[in-house]
Structure 1
Amino acid sequence: MSRTDRAWRRWGEVDPYFAVLSDPRYRANQLAANRTAFFETGDAYIADRLARAQEHFGFTTRGRALDFGCGVGRLTLALADRFEAVTGLDVAPAMLEEARVNAAGRSNIDFLLSDDRLANAPGHYDLVISLMVLQHIPVERGMRIVAMLLDRVAPGGIASLHVCTNRGDTPRQRFNYWAQRRVPGVRGFFNLWHGRPWAEPLMEMNAYPLDAIVALGRKKDFGEPLIQFDHHGRFETAQLLVQRAG
């Protein structure tokens, strides 16, 4: 198992909602008062993505949807309100168990363990979505996953992918990040310095080559993407919305 998968599995065990959406309101000790708001953010995001897809591509098909890196189901539940069948994939068993609890009573969702071949997501989907997930996967591996996610999009379907494009590190920040990943014990000291538990895992943030993702889409019969650029602190991100040729 890769370092990043081990870290994500650990997050699923210790603080799953904060791992999905890194806001202090969603820490385990504050979640009870903010759980509704957590899922409302997912519903708002899906509503926005689908509205943009309809506006720019005329997309209205609501058959199957795939949520890659579903976590505790923040987006998956919102998709299930709008699609006939939804598959949520995640590498963390504890995340999936929490997602199943959150989806109790819904019959159109499957929460399944993910792997690099997407073996539990066969066939094609009208919508394939991934938000704040690929950035936690090393780029070489993540680009292979991007290719497979695009392969899962049905003709006329939509891919909605979110990636970090620039970490914005100073030289000192770059060294600190390297040390936390590579030097045993350094992460623990950084955690204590910032008032976090010693064993809290590192949440990697990897920057992807946006032009390579767009080029990959073209090779797989996708049109020109709608791209939205954002800043999250020093991190620069991009959200791609793109339709496969029918």
Structure 2
Amino acid sequence: MDVWDRRAENPGLYAVLSNRWSEAECAGVDDAQKSMIERLVPNLDGRRVVDLGCGVGRLTSWVSRRAGLTVGIDRSARMVDRARHVVAGRPAVVVQASTAKLPLPSGAFDLVLAVFTLQHVVDEQEFRASVREMGRVAVRPGGELLIVDGHNPTPAAQNVSSRTTATVIRPLDGYGDLTRYADRVAVEEQEYVGDRYLAQLWRTR
């Protein structure tokens, strides 16, 4: 069984980070991230949102209470199954797919979220394709893209994988493929359980 499928038995963010943080710590980070999203993207009413790497649906479910339509994407079959149950009855769908090849139309969404997602795409070509796909599906003018990944102050990508989780953190320049679609309008440093992360907000032209 895939490592992400095994972790799908756990709730919320703990499904992703059960080998790193406690369930209580994950709950605290979850609250902090939702507050950050509300501050950086304050109006979700009626908007069409994609949640990349949706896991068991923690943000997909939360966003779906506010947005017009929410689409969760995850490559783990078990995560997708759990997320579908979480969002049942809401204006949301969950699809099993790679972030590098989204089964979604171009320019059809107002907001794309990638929270703790792209840092786990360790293959560089797949990562760059995933970044381009984010821009493609949100290419309508004024669309927004919010990325939260590990903070990397060096000019080169760093592989910080653990025994259980593959992770690569990249410098801000590493997300440069988005510049064909959007401008970076905000960068904020976040600290979760003593670890540093960067939140990047992009807006399409």
Category of TM-score, reference length = shorter chain: 0.7 to 0.9
Deviation at 1:224, TM superposition (A): 3.3
* Alignment deviations for residues 181-229 of structure 1 (CA, whole Å, 9 cap, x no partner): xxxxxx5xxxxxxxxxxxxxx122211131131x323222x22320012
2:78 to 94, 98, 102: 94
* CA distance in 1 between partners of 2:191 and 2:29 (Å): 18
Contact preservation (8 Å) 2:70, 2:93: yes
Deviation at 1:235, TM superposition (A): 4.7
Matched, 1:155 2:141: yes
Matched, 1:49 2:37: yes
The one-letter amino acid of 2:33's match is Y
Partner of 1:197: none
Deviation at 1:68, TM superposition (A): 0.2
Q: Which moved more, 1:155-164 or 1:117-126?
A: 117-126
Partner of 1:209: 171
Matched, 1:83 2:71: no
1:129 to 101, 109, 113: 113
The one-letter amino acid of 1:145's match is S
Fraction of identical pairs, as percent? 24
Contact preservation (8 Å) 2:74, 2:95: yes
Compare CA radii of gyration and give the structure with the larger one.
1
> RMSD of the TM alignment (CA)?
3.2
For structure 2, the 5+ residue unaligned runs are none
Deviation at 1:60, TM superposition (A): 6.3
The normalised TM-score by structure 2 is: 0.78
* CA distance in 2 between partners of 1:82 and 1:41 (Å): 20
Count of paired positions: 195
Matched, 1:111 2:94: yes
- Listed as ranges, the matches of 1:205-244 within 5 Å are 205-213=167-175, 215-220=176-181, 222-232=182-192, 235-244=195-204
- Listed as ranges, the matches of 1:22-37 within 5 Å are 22=18, 23-25=21-23
The one-letter amino acid of 1:218's match is T
Going from structure 1 to structure 2, the CA distance change for 1:16 and 1:95 (only over 3 Å counts) comes to: farther
Going from structure 1 to structure 2, the CA distance change for 1:102 and 1:224 (only over 3 Å counts) comes to: closer
